[in-house]
Amino acid sequence: MKQSQLDYPFPKGFWWGSASSATQMEGAASLGEKGPNIWDYWYETEPNRFFQGVGPEHTSQFYDQYKSDIQLMKETGHNSFRFSISWSRLIPNGDGAVNAEAVQFYNNVIDELIKNDIEPFINLFHFDMPLSMQEIGGWESRAVVEAYVRYAQKCFELFGDRIKYWFTHNEPVVPVEGQYLYGFHYPALCDFKKAVQAAFHEVLASAKAIESYKKMNLSGKIGIIINLTPSYPRSQHPMDVEAANRADLLFNRSFLDPSVKGTFPEELIELIDQEGFTPIIAGGDLETIKENTVSLLGINYYQPRRVKAKEHVPNPSAPFLPERYFDYYEMHGRKMNPYRGWEIYEKGIYDLLMNIKNNYDNIDCFIAENGMGVENEGRFIGEDGIIEDDYRIDFYKEHLKWVHKAMEEGVNVKGYHVWTFMDNWSWLNAYKNRYGLVSVKLEDDYKRTIKKSGKWFKNLSSNNGF
């Protein structure tokens, strides 16, 4: 099919690919001189936290099978692929000596991707804090910020000759939520003051890594990947609108504004000060953040956030959580992914992109993750042994229609990456929900098979549209 015949053509050079993370895909968690990270430790100490007791040791075995996996990427139409460096694999103690085996592994992956005409994108941090760094405070600690910057510099030195696109963090709000508010990442605290300090240090670490990158005069771009969840009010009543604004401020703008604009929203500063949670800020920190903004924004989109004004006065003695300012509500007639428990609202991706155009100087951006997790996909195997995941193809199509519309209206969208290339381990949910273009059969030595969606994605990329 020629591009002129497509209903939804995309521009030449558009990035088609997928995203992954080291802990979720590599496996070999205790091999190759890798140091432990917080997931290795949490599984060792509390395996009951993990779905069906499946931990991070083996995951999807990309560490051993990267060559054949990259061939499958090519077969599924990838012209780009975003993966993360495991900080504790590269620098086992989080700071100090570099692991030569890890350097060789990542060099091999990068070179194999390039050999197959797949542009490698590298993300530096994807939820996998080295245990040694967590033991001195994790993102609460200034020392960890400085160690992270040294780690980033080492990555730039080792791989910067071939990597054009770098990202400092993936979804920086998630460690804040998981580690310090809602208990789904180790150490599973509920402490808003620590959450604010950790969030500030993530922003600062990102800016300081960008500062280092710029000093090295490398030719690529460096950005951040943020999961943006649009906050929709129940109604246009002022209190519902204010509730949505507060949710957006805490979950989206807290990272988006300093990353792109170089400043925190005044309203957020006032709110944090008013509640008594002002973080410790050293001299020069705000200037560093101001002067080292991103040149490329990755956007992860999965679902909307629908909120309303509080129904009841919060318990003033209870731990402070963002929900002090709003309640969630379920919109009547919403479309759902029943397996993940998330609403499917395709127009949300358009609303996010238009917000970037209108309020963030239309910075170059791309969809860095978008995907649908489904449980027990073996139900959908056809006679040819292929998983017939038409629901995933429909999910992609309906989101891409809105991406296309945003681009027609002038948004600088450079690509679309799905989550994910192959079924992988999902933190506490292990392999409960499958997201891949390629299935991984755990009981058959991690056998890979391209799904119907993977074949469709190949056509999407080859035709540069649909």
What is the rounded CA–CA span in Å between residue 15 and residue 417?
A: 7
Which three-class secondary structure state does DSSP give residue 465? strand
The domain limits of the chain are 3-463
Q: What is the model's pLDDT at position 251?
A: 98
What is the rounded CA–CA span in Å between residue 196 and residue 208?
A: 18
Q: What is the model's pLDDT at position 255?
A: 98
Burial of 4 (0-12, 13-18, 19+ CB in 10 A): exposed
What is the rounded CA–CA span in Å between residue 390 and residue 454?
A: 11
E strands present in 20-144: 80-84, 119-123
Integer angstrom CA distances of residue 115 from 70, 209, 342: 10, 28, 38
Our answer to whether residue 369 is catalytic in this structure is: yes
What is the rounded CA–CA span in Å between residue 413 and residue 6?
A: 19
Q: What is the model's pLDDT at position 3?
A: 55
Q: What is the model's pLDDT at position 403?
A: 98
Q: What is the model's pLDDT at position 369?
A: 98
Catalytic residue among 26, 177, 346, 369: 369
In CATH terms, 3-463 corresponds, of 3.20.20.80, 3.40.640.10, 3.40.50.300, 3.40.50.720, to 3.20.20.80
Integer angstrom CA distances of residue 369 from 16, 419, 436: 11, 5, 12
Task: Find the farthest-apart pair of alpha carbons in the chain and give their distance in angstroms, rounded.
Answer: 65
Strand partners, 59: none
Which three-class secondary structure state does DSSP give residue 162? coil
Catalytic residue among 171, 177, 202, 346: 171
CA atoms within 13 A on the CB side of 289: 23
Strand partners, 179: none
Paired tokens of 96: 């100090």
Residue 308 main-chain phi, psi, to 5 deg: -145, 170
Question: What is the residue whose two structure tokens read 């058959």?
Answer: 444
Listed in sequence order, the DSSP H helices in 292-413 are: 347-359, 390-408
- For the CA atoms of the chain, what is the radius of gyration? 21
Contact 369, 227 (CB under 8 A): yes
> What is the three-state SS of 70-93?
HHHHHHCCCCEEEEECCHHHHCCC
Q: What is the model's pLDDT at position 224?
A: 99
Instruction: Give 299's contacts (C-beta < 8 A, 6+ positions apart).
Output: 225, 226, 227, 228, 352, 353, 356, 365, 366, 367, 368
Paired tokens of 88: 């504790």
Contact 63, 106 (CB under 8 A): no
Q: In terms of Cα–Cα distance, which of 396, 196, 181 is closest to 277?
A: 196
Instruction: List, for the chain, all residue ranges whose pLDDT scores fall below the cut of 70.
Output: 1-4
Q: What is the model's pLDDT at position 4?
A: 61
For residue 202, count other CB atoms closer than 10 A to its CB: 25
> What is the three-state SS of 174-230?
HHHHHHHCCCCCCCCCCCHHHHHHHHHHHHHHHHHHHHHHHHCCCCCEEEEEEECCC
